[in-house]
């Protein structure tokens, strides 16, 4: 026999629907927030002197932990002369990955003295495989994949930027 007390009331159903919608909208906000870069990236110019010539890059600088964690994630393109410089407080073995990074990148590891100490070339987009510096580095310059080979950038090349006490 039908017992109306066992059926949910309309207000209960409405409350559950409102709760479910709030959960979905909160999830959408979190996803949207993760795809937006943190505030405060500064810009500048960095130069690398190779055996043959000097190459200039227009860079964004990732200084804070939030900026460094976000990096170049969710970008679909990067200009040929552009990059992102990650500057750390002290020289260290640096570990990075390509999670949520859609474009292949070269990672140029730079020592405190302003010289290239290692290069991780053509890193695979979206990979969570760790990428390590081969030596302690103060910074990493991320550029389009293939840039280091195309420009002849090698370990030992000089990098000119204020974070290394050099300019050029």
Q: What does the block give as tokens for 162?
A: 């204020």
pTM confidence score? 0.76
CA-based R_g, the chain, Å: 23
Question: What pLDDT score was predicted for residue 31?
Answer: 40
| pLDDT, tens digit, 9 for 90 and up, residues 102-128 | 999 999 999 999 999 999 999 999 999
> Token pair 């950038």 is at which residue?
153
How far is the C-alpha of 131 from the C-alpha of 136, rounded, in Å? Answer: 13
Q: Which of the four CATH numbers 3.40.50.10540, 3.30.930.10, 3.40.50.12500, 2.60.120.1140 does domain 42-164 have?
A: 2.60.120.1140
| pLDDT, tens digit, 9 for 90 and up, residues 25-49 | 554 434 434 555 556 688 999 999 9
Q: What does the block give as tokens for 26?
A: 């909160």
Assess contact for 54 and 168: CB atoms under 8 A.
Answer: yes
Calculate the dihedral angle through the C-alpha atoms of 15, 16, 17, 18, rounding to the nearest 10 degrees: 50
């Amino acid at each position: 026999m039908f017992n109306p007390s066992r059926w949910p009331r309309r207000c209960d159903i409405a409350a559950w629907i409102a709760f479910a919608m709030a959960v979905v909208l909160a999830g959408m906000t979190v996803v949207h927030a993760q795809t937006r870069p943190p505030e405060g990236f500064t810009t500048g110019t960095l130069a690398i002197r190779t055996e043959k010539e000097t190459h200039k890059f227009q860079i964004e600088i990732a200084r804070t932990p939030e900026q460094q964690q976000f990096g170049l994630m969710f970008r679909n393109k990067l200009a040929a002369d552009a990059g992102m410089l990650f500057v750390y407080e002290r020289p260290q073995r640096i570990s990075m990955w390509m999670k949520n990074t859609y474009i292949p990148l070269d990672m140029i590891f730079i020592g405190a003295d302003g010289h290239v100490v290692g290069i991780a070339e053509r890193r695979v987009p979206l990979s969570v495989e760790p990428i390590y510096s081969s030596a302690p580095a103060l910074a990493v310059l991320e550029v389009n994949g293939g840039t280091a080979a195309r420009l002849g950038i090698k370990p030992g090349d000089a990098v000119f930027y204020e974070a290394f006490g050099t300019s050029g």
